[in-house]
Chain A
Amino acid sequence: MALLEIRNLSVEFKTSSGSFRAVDGFETSLDAGEILGVVGESGSGKSVAFLALMGLLPWTATITADQLSFDGRDLRSISARERRRIIGKDMAMIFQEPMSSLNPCFTVGFQIKEALRRHLGLDARARQARAVELFEQVGIPAPEKRLSAFPHQLSGGMNQRVMIAMAISCKPKLLIADEPTTALDVTIQAQILELLTALQRDTGMALVLITHDMGVVAETAHKVSVQYAGQKVEQQPVADLFATPHHPYTAALLSALPERAVSRRLPTIPGVVPGQFDRPQGCLFSPRCAHVQDRCRTDPPPPGGPETGFARCHYPLNLTQEEKA
């Protein structure tokens, strides 16, 4: 059985102007030791889907799903108290902004030991030893000294390492990294990604990498899920996705990569992601799609089968002859 199984997950926010569906029928499944890349533009609901999984959304959010199970437990029916025993222990998450994700009033040592005490019940000495070990593992120099530092005394990259150390402190089965490198310098980005993949390899945990950087996905992920306007539009193993994208949105994203540019001007996708009030009637991508047909503007396409990468498209691209037939 898969470690993580999400089927038809939707998240709606109550706003003063009605409800807004941030995630619309998200699905994925993930086995132990797998790396899933989730890509999409800002506002495509990629973070929200996983915050919903962690139970970290504000009370204005309504979460519905046909299946939401982790490690054999149904997260839909679980109490808040039981959920708190899972998150931070078996399922951990790191965030985009390392500088603001750590509490400025406490030392990083205090913050990492908190998780160790809560989930593993270690005594003070064991906590200290484990914290030092974790800091070494994530490549923080002079760990004993750094433990008593406050977040504002460390750089962004260091803070992200602290966040990672905190997330892996209880040896989680699943680590969700929500744009872990977006706020960092390019050189630091590479280091953090390397660290994440190395940790994933060593511990065998599953890793979800939420990003809008196709390059990051190509280097690290095993399979890739592409999100658009709250929907998953395609999911394929990484090599297949880059070789034969089936959804026009994926194809457009890939052709916008500088490495793939064929002309002097980088191709772009015209328009913006639809918001709360301008959702198209048919396919959500239809106003921006280069291959749009009349049917796309009226009928929303259902997800396809595995042979087309579950693409939500009436006219998937790059089909082999027998698939077309």
Chain B
Amino acid sequence: MLNFLLMRILTFVPTFFGVTIISFAFIRVLPGDPIVVMAGERGMSQERYDQLYHQLGFDKPVISQYFDYLVGVLQGDLGNSFVTKKPVWDEFFSLFPATLELSICAIVLAVVLGLPAGVIAAVNRGKFFDRLLMSSALIGYSMPIFWWALLLIIVFSGMAGLTPVSGRMSLMFYFDTPTGFMLIDSFLSGQKGAFVSAVKHLILPTVVLGTIPLAVIARQTRSAMLEVLSEDYIRTARAKGLPPLRVNGLHALRNAMIPVITVIGLMVGTLLAGAILTETIFSWPGIGKWMVDSIFRRDYPVVQGGLLLISVMVMIVNLTVDVLYGLINPRIRKT
């Protein structure tokens, strides 16, 4: 297992360098000049322009710009934002907890509801529950996110007044945020109602962001379960006189989980990169919105550094998935 882990971590190295190249090149391929964008409508003298051009290192050859960047990255320095002048590293980690909190809630919702839904649908194949669940999944999967979000806001915030429309916390509360996770911080603050407010703010974004993963997981679980249920070892489990819950929920699901884990891993990777639509609609201060804003501002260091950090997160998720594979499927553990 240790060997397997080490080998897997070694493959990070080339991937990591690949990502630095792509993230560096990507923003430079886009048309637009960051200095012009910085100047805005006021414009800028040629003198000042040349000065900034030199200061930001754009007068050097692209290759040596890349190496400057790479050397910085390897020393843990992702540069400072052109716009805010703050280190990219700090900006990322002040925003990332918001994205992480939302992603975790969304994926937990999707797994907790999606797995049982898939199992129930597979066990009742072709019957009422199967049809009901699978058509709901299809609707959830096909629904445009922004429309679904607005619908929920109209019903639950507008008409019922149950949930807030946007943000992470009611303005009535103010407290320090040592972890950046609003659920934890509001709880620690000890202020009455703060935690409830945090939960209320999370509900709609979680539902919106979790809908597609929920539908995908339910469908994937169903098809994996259907395949597994026709296996000989399921017949053996039944022949032992085991109750259906144990046959379906343990013997079958454990095997069906193998392909489902892959899908969940991919989903988590996507969610960590920030849910641009969801974050925008709910004014959720996460990295999805941050990245989009930075691309519009041609904020090179932020886009480069942000992409790199997101990729590292995705790599870590993939590694976790590989380890989980080994835990669930003993056939690949030894090799």
Query: Do chains A and B interact in one complex?
Result: yes
**Interface 9-residue window, one of B45-53, B144-152, B213-221, B326-334:** B326-334
Nearest CB in chain A to that of B242: its residue? A118
Nearest CB in chain A to that of B230: its residue? A58
Is A171's beta carbon under 8 Å from chain B? no
A104-B330, A106-B254, A152-B331 known; A115 and B233 CB under 8 Å? Answer: no
Is B241's beta carbon under 8 Å from chain A? yes
A150-B330, A150-B331, A152-B331 known; A103 and B233 CB under 8 Å? Answer: yes
Contact A86 B241 (CB under 8 A): yes
Point out the residue from A95, A105, A119 that lies within 8 Å of B241, measured CB to CB. A119
Q: How far is the CA of A115 from the CA of B254 in the complex (A)?
A: 18
Contact B239 A105 (CB under 8 A): no
Q: How far is the CA of A56 from the CA of B328 in the complex (A)?
A: 27
Interface bits B110-131 vs A (CB < 8 Å: 1, else 0): 0000000000000000000000
Interface bits A51-91 vs B (CB < 8 Å: 1, else 0): 00010100000000000000000000000010111111100
Interface bits A158-181 vs B (CB < 8 Å: 1, else 0): 000001001000000000000000
Is B236's beta carbon under 8 Å from chain A? yes
Contact B237 A103 (CB under 8 A): yes
Contact B239 A56 (CB under 8 A): yes
Contact A105 B235 (CB under 8 A): no
Contact A104 B331 (CB under 8 A): yes
Q: What residues of chain A lie closer than 8 Å to B329, measured between beta carbons? A: 104-105
Q: Which of B277-335 contact A (CB under 8 A)?
A: 328-331
Nearest CB in chain B to that of A81: its residue? B243
Q: What residues of chain A lie closer than 8 Å to B192, measured between beta carbons? A: none
With a 10 A CB-CB cut-off, give which of B241, B328, B331 has the most chain A CB atoms: B241
Nearest CB in chain B to that of A97: its residue? B232
Interface bits B195-224 vs A (CB < 8 Å: 1, else 0): 000000000000000000000000000000
Q: What residues of chain B lie closer than 8 Å to A103, measured between beta carbons? A: 233, 236-237, 251, 254-255
Q: What residues of chain A lie closer than 8 Å to B328, measured between beta carbons? A: 105
Q: How far is the CA of A95 from the CA of B238 in the complex (A)?
A: 13
Contact B330 A166 (CB under 8 A): no
Q: Which of B228-272 contact A (CB under 8 A)?
A: 231-233, 235-243, 251, 254-255
Q: What residues of chain A lie closer than 8 Å to B239, measured between beta carbons? A: 54, 56, 87-88, 92-93
Q: What residues of chain B lie closer than 8 Å to A5, measured between beta carbons? A: none
Q: How far is the CA of A115 from the CA of B329 in the complex (A)?
A: 22
Is A100's beta carbon under 8 Å from chain B? yes
A189 to chain B, nearest CB (A): 19
A160 to chain B, nearest CB (A): 12
Nearest CB in chain B to that of A95: its residue? B232
With a 10 A CB-CB cut-off, give which of B328, B329, B331 has the most chain A CB atoms: B331
Q: What residues of chain A lie closer than 8 Å to B240, measured between beta carbons? A: 87-88, 114-115, 118, 166
A30 to chain B, nearest CB (A): 18
Contact B330 A105 (CB under 8 A): yes
Contact B241 A101 (CB under 8 A): no
Is A102's beta carbon under 8 Å from chain B? yes
Q: How far is the CA of A270 from the CA of B239 in the complex (A)?
A: 37
With a 10 A CB-CB cut-off, give which of A54, A84, A97 has the most chain B CB atoms: A84
With a 10 A CB-CB cut-off, give which of A89, A107, A150 has the most chain B CB atoms: A150
Q: How far is the CA of A54 from the CA of B241 in the complex (A)?
A: 10
Q: How far is the CA of A152 from the CA of B335 in the complex (A)?
A: 13
A98 to chain B, nearest CB (A): 9
Q: How far is the CA of A81 from the CA of B244 in the complex (A)?
A: 10
Contact B255 A104 (CB under 8 A): yes
Q: What residues of chain A lie closer than 8 Å to B242, measured between beta carbons? A: 84, 88, 114, 118
Contact B255 A95 (CB under 8 A): no
Q: How far is the CA of A89 from the CA of B232 in the complex (A)?
A: 19
Q: How far is the CA of A140 from the CA of B251 in the complex (A)?
A: 24
Q: How far is the CA of A93 from the CA of B241 in the complex (A)?
A: 11
Q: What residues of chain A lie closer than 8 Å to B331, measured between beta carbons? A: 104, 150, 152
Point out the residue from B232, B236, B254 that lies within 8 Å of A105, measured CB to CB. B254
Q: How far is the CA of A56 from the CA of B238 in the complex (A)?
A: 7
Q: How far is the CA of A166 from the CA of B242 in the complex (A)?
A: 13
With a 10 A CB-CB cut-off, give which of A89, A102, A104 has the most chain B CB atoms: A104
Q: How far is the CA of A189 from the CA of B73 in the complex (A)?
A: 64
Q: What residues of chain B lie closer than 8 Å to A107, measured between beta carbons? A: 330
A134 to chain B, nearest CB (A): 14
A103-B255, A150-B331 known; A115 and B232 CB under 8 Å? Answer: no
A105-B329, A150-B331, A152-B331 known; A100 and B241 CB under 8 Å? Answer: no
Q: What residues of chain B lie closer than 8 Å to A84, measured between beta carbons? A: 241-243
Q: What residues of chain A lie closer than 8 Å to B236, measured between beta carbons? A: 95, 101-103, 111, 163, 166
- New A-B contacts (10) at CB < 8 Å, excluding given A85-B241, A87-B240, A105-B255: A56-B239, A87-B238, A87-B241, A93-B239, A100-B233, A103-B251, A115-B241, A150-B331, A152-B331, A163-B236
- Contact sample, A vs B, 6 pairs, CB 8 Å cutoff: A101-B232, A103-B236, A104-B255, A106-B254, A107-B330, A114-B242
Counting from the closest, the 6 A-B pairs by CB-CB distance are A88-B241, A88-B240, A100-B232, A103-B233, A84-B241, A101-B232
